[in-house]
Chain A
Amino acid sequence: MRKSYFEASARERLLGILDADSFHEFLPPDARCTSPHLAALDQPLAFDDGVAVGSARLAGRPVLVAAQEGRFLGGAIGEVHGAKIAGLIARAHAAAHQEAGGYAAVILLLDSGGVRLHEANAGLLAVSEIIRALLAARVDGVRFLGLIGGSSGCFGGTGLIARCCDALVMSEEGRLAMSGPEVIETVRGVEEFDARDRALVWRVTGGKHRYLLGEVDAFVADDTAAFRAAAIGLLDHPAGLTLADVEREHARLQQRWQRFGDCDDGLQIWERLGVADATQVALLDTDAFRRLADAVRTAP
Chain B
Amino acid sequence: MNLPVAGTPVPDPESLLQQLFAGQYTLTQRDPDFFCGSGQSAGQTVQFIGTAGATEVGVDLVLRMAAAILQTLRAHPGRTLLLLLDTQGQRLRRRDELLGLNAYMAHLAKCVEMARAQGHGVLSLVYGQAVSGGYLTSGMMADAAYALAQAEIKVMNLPAMARITRIALERLQSLAAQSPVFSPGADNYHAMGHLAQIWHDELAAHLAAAVLQVGAAQAQGDRRMLLGMERGGRQQAWNVAQAVATHD
Residues of A within 8 A of B (CB): 26-27, 33, 36-37, 40-42, 53, 79-80, 82-84, 86-88, 90-91, 94, 115, 117-129, 131-133, 135-136, 139, 156-157, 159-160, 162-164, 176-179, 181, 183-184, 187-188, 192-193, 204-205, 209-210, 213, 215, 241, 243, 246-247, 249-250, 253-254, 256-257, 260-261, 263-266, 269
Cβ contact within 8 Å between A117 and B164:
yes
Q: Assess whether B49 is interfacial by the CB under 8 Å rule.
A: no
Q: Assess whether B48 is interfacial by the CB under 8 Å rule.
A: no
Q: Which residues of B contact A127 (CB under 8 A)?
A: 136
Q: Which residues of A contact B183 (CB under 8 A)?
A: 121
Cβ contact within 8 Å between B97 and A184:
yes
Tell me the count of chain B residues lying within 8 A, CB to CB, of chain A. Answer: 76
Cβ contact within 8 Å between A246 and B114:
yes
Cβ contact within 8 Å between A162 and B113:
no
Q: Which residues of A contact B66 (CB under 8 A)?
A: 250
Cβ contact within 8 Å between A117 and B101:
no
Q: Which of B50-104 contact A (CB under 8 A)?
A: 59-60, 63, 66-67, 70, 73, 90, 92-104
Q: Which residues of A contact B99 (CB under 8 A)?
A: 213, 256-257, 260-261, 263
Q: Which residues of A contact B60 (CB under 8 A)?
A: 257, 261
Which among B15-23, B29-37, B240-248 touches the partner chain?
B240-248
Cβ contact within 8 Å between A159 and B102:
yes
Q: Assess whether B210 is interfacial by the CB under 8 Å rule.
A: no
Q: Give chain B's interface secondary structure class.
A: helix
Q: Which residues of A contact B235 (CB under 8 A)?
A: 36
CA A82 to CA B245, docked complex, whole Å:
13
CA A94 to CA B221, docked complex, whole Å:
13
Cβ contact within 8 Å between A265 and B113:
no
Contact with A along B146-181 (1 / 0, CB 8 A): 000000001110000100110100010001000111
CA A244 to CA B70, docked complex, whole Å:
11
Cβ contact within 8 Å between B94 and A117:
no
Cβ contact within 8 Å between B237 and A122:
yes
CB-CB under 8 A for A160 and B109, given A90-B245, A122-B237, A215-B100: yes
Q: Which residues of B contact A160 (CB under 8 A)?
A: 102, 105-106, 109, 133, 136-137
Cβ contact within 8 Å between B222 and A124:
no
CB-CB under 8 A for A179 and B97, given A87-B245, A257-B59: yes
CA A90 to CA B92, docked complex, whole Å:
33
CA A188 to CA B113, docked complex, whole Å:
33
Q: Assess whether B110 is interfacial by the CB under 8 Å rule.
A: yes
